[in-house]
Structure 1
């Protein structure tokens, strides 16, 4: 299997790869460095007030782009589609995705 890096965005940490197996089969792969973002989420849950100064906006999660793509590809949940907001909220309230949360409450 050979891999070729197609592109890397240092701001988002997203990398796109082209994979070939030598038998004419190919695939694309995306990866993202998310450790720093997840550390920020953990710190925010522990030490930060999730509300802005006016108390009218609440930060509840930071979601890596690679997770947004995973939800779309594997679960059919489109983060960018307002009609899917209930599904996004349900995922963020699910204990399996707790590490994305910046706030202990529920949505």
Structure 2
């Protein structure tokens, strides 16, 4: 199967690929992106942040590739207000804590 680039978003770094298998007729869409620069900024922000939170606080930065993964695999849309608790639960999970810009437990905020 040959992969073909459909889109490369320079703002988010998300790339969308198309793959088609002529024998089976299957078409696949893949999303990928480099989240390393954002993760490095998140870690630096978490280490520099005080423990105090005001009325509003920047608590996480979630790369577009992770947003897409959560939407496809877990059914969680970070832009849907009804999914706020699910997003907080995911961010509190050790697997995803590198997305947080503060060392806090969001389920307690």
Asked if these proteins are the same fold (TM beyond 0.5), I'd say yes
Residue by residue over 1:40-86, the C-alpha shift from the partner in whole angstroms, topping out at 9 and shown as x without a partner, is 0111111244878xx32211110011111111111111211111111
Distance in 2 of aligned mates of 1:72 and 1:90: 14
Is contact 1:61–1:101 with CA below 8 Å preserved after alignment?
Answer: yes
What is the rounded CA distance, in whole Å, between the counterparts of 1:66 and 1:14 in structure 2?
6
User: Does structure 1 residue 31 correspond to structure 2 residue 39?
Assistant: no
Q: Any unmatched runs of 5+ in structure 2?
A: none
Runs of 4+ with deviation above 3 angstroms: 48-52
Instruction: Provide the TM-score with structure 2 as the length reference.
Output: 0.86
Three-state SS of the structure 2 residue aligned to 1:95 is coil
Unaligned 5+ segments in structure 1 are none
How many residues matched?
105
Q: Distance in 2 between matches of 1:65 and 1:27?
A: 19
